[in-house]
Amino acid sequence: MPVVFIPTPMRDLTGGEATVTVEGEFVRDVIDALDRRYPGIKDRLCRGDALVPGLQVCIDDTMTRRGLNARLAPQSEVHFLPPIGGG
């Protein structure tokens, strides 16, 4: 099952857990599984049927532009990278 690395600002929903293992063939499936276990996490990751603007997904050390439709391997590592502001 894919391992999801939870961004620090979302760990309040996971009880402080930094990594979570959930089932999913696509990023969309992983987010749905996370939301079943940790209600509210999908609202922080998605807007409608897309990722929150500026949120990036890294799968196995590779950035993807496929968003929710990105396919995962059974042992994939998934990182959600929030936008970085500043100047």
Question: Strands, E, within 1-87: which ranges?
Answer: 3-5, 19-21, 46-47, 50-51, 56-59, 62-64, 77-81
Q: What average pLDDT does this structure show over 26-33?
A: 97
Q: What is the mean pLDDT of residues 43-65?
A: 93
Q: How far is the C-alpha of 18 from the C-alpha of 46, rounded, in Å?
A: 19
Full-model pTM:
0.91
Q: What is the DSSP letter of 8?
A: G
Q: How confident is the model at residue 83 (pLDDT cuts 50, 70, 90)?
A: confident
